């Protein structure tokens, strides 16, 4: 019976939608980089195709135009809905709009990075994705380019190049890894600064030149830790700060001995439904 249920989950979209996607751990070094394929970490909105519907990472429906989804196969895909480097807010506004703007969607690319239902190791799933994209022949459907690097020095050199060009970072996917749902060391993310999310629990008033504006946000992390986030905001954002309850993404450089993010800096508000 368990085998039958597992088989059904692989082919029934609602079941797939309830399973957590493959999630990356942070790159800590100490691995054989040559055993991984490396790609640029795209700053877009994750799109999970169930075979029938396009969903966000959290399982909310994405209202894409019919022409965008009609050519997609009746099997699961995972990727990033992306416009270009540095355009997260722009792509989020397009993708999360409940009434799709056809002209705006023409800018969006579905950049594939995995094919959950395909059999075999990641290199074999990558080959299946490449064949699918070639057969589909739609310019907005692409596979994120992957490369094999010989050493950590080569990895860090490419990271510097990507970041200098306005990119976010790199992703490392172990070549022989089978697909699994949830967080795994088979998938690693590498950035010059880490980022994470917290929930706004209070808006703290500013002083001096920020009198009458927001001074900082009191954030609560998923582990219950609270801290003040006060850097990285524009004056416009301070005048109209994220509301209580909003999810905020910020960069940081590790943690203090008390478990608070070190050198935290505001990046963006996570759009509802993303």
Which CATH number covers residue 37?
3.30.470.30
Percent of the chain with pLDDT over 90: 74
Is residue 201 within 8 Å of residue 219, measured between CB atoms? Answer: yes
Last residue of a domain, one of 163, 190, 217: 190
In which domain, by residue range, is 75 found? 15-190
Q: What is the pLDDT of residues 157-167, one digit of tens each?
A: 999 999 999 99
Last residue of a domain, one of 172, 190, 208: 190
Q: Does residue 6 sit within a domain?
A: no
CA–CA separation, 231 and 214 (whole Å): 11
Mean pLDDT for the stretch of residues 148-156: 95
DSSP 3-28: HHHHHHHHH-HHHHHHSPPEEEEEP-
**Do 171 and 256 belong to one domain?**
no
Out of 2, 18, 41, 189, which one is annotated catalytic? Answer: 41
What is the predicted pLDDT for the residue at 16?
Answer: 55
Burial of 16 (0-12, 13-18, 19+ CB in 10 A): buried
What are the angstrom distances between the C-alpha of 146 and each of 65, 88, 90, 131, 227?
A: 28, 21, 25, 15, 38
The mean-pLDDT minimum among 3-7, 80-84, 217-221, 269-273 falls in: 3-7
Q: For this structure, is 41 an active site residue?
A: yes
Mean pLDDT for the stretch of residues 111-125: 95
Q: Is pLDDT of 42 > 70?
A: yes
State the pTM of this model. Answer: 0.74
Total number of domains constituting the chain: 2
**273 pLDDT tier (thresholds 50, 70, 90):** low
Q: Find the CATH number of the domain harbouring 216.
A: 2.40.50.140
**Do 127 and 24 belong to one domain?**
yes
Which tokens belong to 232? 């990285």
Of 190, 120, 197, the residue nearest 162 (C-alpha) = 190
CA–CA separation, 106 and 112 (whole Å): 17
Q: What is the pLDDT of residues 174-199, one digit of tens each?
A: 999 999 989 999 999 998 878 889 99
Mean pLDDT of the chain: 90
Which tokens belong to 253? 């450089």
Q: Does residue 132 sit within a domain?
A: yes
CA–CA separation, 249 and 196 (whole Å): 6
- Other Cβ atoms closer than 10 A to 114: 23
Q: Does residue 1 sit within a domain?
A: no
CA–CA separation, 28 and 25 (whole Å): 9
């Amino acid at each position: 019976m368990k085998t039958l249920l597992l088989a059904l989950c692989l082919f029934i979209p609602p079941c797939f939608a309830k399973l957590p996607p493959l999630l990356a751990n942070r790159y800590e070094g100490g691995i054989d980089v040559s055993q991984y394929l490396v790609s640029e970490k795209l700053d877009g909105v994750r799109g999970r195709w169930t075979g029938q519907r396009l969903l966000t990472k959290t399982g909310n429906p994405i209202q894409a135009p019919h022409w965008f989804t009609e050519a997609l196969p009746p099997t699961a895909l995972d990727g990033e809905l992306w416009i270009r480097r540095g355009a997260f807010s722009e792509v989020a506004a397009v993708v999360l709009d409940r009434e799709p703007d056809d002209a705006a969607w023409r800018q969006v690319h579905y950049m594939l990075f995995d094919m959950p239902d395909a059999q075999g190791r990641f290199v074999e799933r990558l080959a299946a994705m490449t064949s699918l994209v070639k057969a589909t022949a739609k310019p907005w459907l692409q596979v994120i380019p992957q490369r094999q690097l010989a050493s950590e020095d080569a990895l860090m050199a490419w990271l510097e190049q990507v970041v200098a060009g306005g990119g976010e970072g790199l992703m490392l996917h172990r070549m022989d890894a089978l697909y699994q749902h949830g967080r795994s060391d088979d998938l690693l993310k590498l950035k010059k600064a880490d980022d994470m999310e917290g929930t706004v629990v209070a808006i703290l008033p500013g002083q001096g030149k920020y009198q009458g504006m927001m001074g900082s946000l009191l954030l609560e992390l998923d582990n219950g830790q609270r801290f003040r986030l006060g850097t990285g905001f524009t004056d416009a954002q301070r005048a109209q700060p994220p509301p209580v309850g909003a999810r905020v993404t910020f960069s940081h450089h590790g943690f203090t001995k008390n478990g608070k993010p070190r050198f935290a800096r505001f990046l963006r508000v996570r759009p509802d439904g993303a």
